Structure 1
């Protein structure tokens, strides 16, 4: 069984992951394989915002690609 960490201290500090399969924060030795997780993140809150972070980064990269190729509007 996987656990949800409700605090930011103890073993695994700096290693909080968002599990795409279970849609929850995982940490420590109890995490899904790498292909199912995003991270590591420094805190539970950061991991909970993983999809938002990915969306923002993708938008920024797409805008940079458009500027690079001259396709910006």
Structure 2
């Protein structure tokens, strides 16, 4: 794709725009067509649902690295290294 054929969905404005639009961190894309960019939020929601329901990412034992029976999700890397 070249810049003149790229489309983006702007999360701030809710508008579809081409390359010269808003800031990169405010946009989803690039997409091949304006219509595809208009469906960006639906595509993102579908990918999120697929990820949340993927058993490779929902193994409860993986979150218990120290074996204490409690999830370690959200702990700092420094919390795992105790003298």
* 1:28 to partner: Cα distance: 3.2
Q: How many residues align?
A: 56
1:12 aligns with 2:4: yes
Q: Which protein is bigger by CA-based radius of gyration?
A: 2
- Secondary structure of the residue aligned to 2:12 is coil
Does residue 42 (structure 1) correspond to residue 32 (structure 2)? The answer is: yes
- Summarize deviations over 1:39-70 as a string: whole Å, max 9, x none: 00010000000000000000001111xx1216
TM-score under structure 2 normalisation? 0.62
Post-superposition, which runs of at least 4 consecutive aligned residues in structure 1 deviate over 3 A?
Answer: none
| Higher-RCO chain (CA-CA 8 Å, sequence separation at least 6) | 1
Alpha-carbon distance in structure 2 between the residues aligned to 1:63 and 1:54: 14
TM-score (norm 1): 0.70
